[in-house]
Copies of this chain bind each other. A is one copy, B any other.
Amino acid sequence: MRQDRGHEDIRLPLASSWRRIHGSVARDLGVAILSGRHAPGDVLPGEIEFSEQLKVSRTAYREGIRILSAKGLVESRPRTGTRVSQRSRWNLLDPDILAWAFEAEPSEAFIRDLFELRMIVEPAAAALAAERRSGLDIARMGHALEEMGRHGLATEAGRAADQAFHNTILEAARNGPLMALSSSIAAAVTWTTIFKYRQQDKPRDPMPDHRALYDAIVAGDPEVARAAMTALVRLALADTEMALRP
């Protein structure tokens, strides 16, 4: 029996994984590395010592390290030990790494970088989506817009709908590697909202630009869609910049 779980569980990327011990070891160490508490080049204590320090078995500790290693955060070799890799090796587009990076307040520079990426990727994705979107995509986007309008971005449901809207556009672009950027885009979207509401009492209404984008994609006009998304991201960027340097 094939279960079609298209959209089902987008949030909580690997929620179950940090319920197990190896998962929380990875998460704790990952956050420590991303927040700079372990700098690139630093050598971690040996397996026996560190696992005892963390009060976990070597098995669980090693599995945690394996996770970090798979994401490029650390490298282990016999005799040398396990050391934090150079930043350039970190897979900054990995969903978990993004989540860990945002666990602590992320640096302004990182948020700017994500917006720059968003500005590059999303307009192009919107253009592709306008050409390739299916009826189902349109229905999902429409539903997301409704939800967004009904609940507003002040509620969890509204923010989830916003995420779903942007995510559906990426899906509609029908490009696997592009889709893999969704967590990065989602992170930028989330922090836009956070900053916007932190700064302003009566934030700008996000619905008009979203509706314009939706219309363009429904109409199947790639260039209009590209322009609409560019405008949308530019506005979001303006909101965020305002909060970043008050």
Contact = CB atoms under 8 A, between A and B. Distances in A.
Given A17-B69, A70-B67, A116 B92 contact: no
Interface stretch (A43-51, A157-165, A172-180, A217-225): A172-180
A108 interface: no
B66 A181 contact: no
Interface string A107-122: 0001001101100110
A180 B67 contact: no
Interface stretch (A83-91, A133-141, A202-210, A232-240): A83-91
A200 B52 CA distance: 60
Contact of A177 (B5, B41, B117): B117
A136 B90 CA distance: 22
Interface residues of A, number: 49
Interface in A60-110: 62-63, 66-67, 69-72, 75, 77, 86-88, 90-96, 110
A128 interface: yes
Interface of A: 2-3, 5, 14, 16-17, 22, 26, 41, 59, 62-63, 66-67, 69-72, 75, 77, 86-88, 90-96, 110, 113-114, 116-117, 120-121, 124-125, 128, 171, 175-181, 184
Nearest 9 CB-CB pairings of A with B: A70-B70, A120-B124, A67-B70, A92-B180, A66-B66, A113-B175, A92-B177, A93-B180, A63-B66
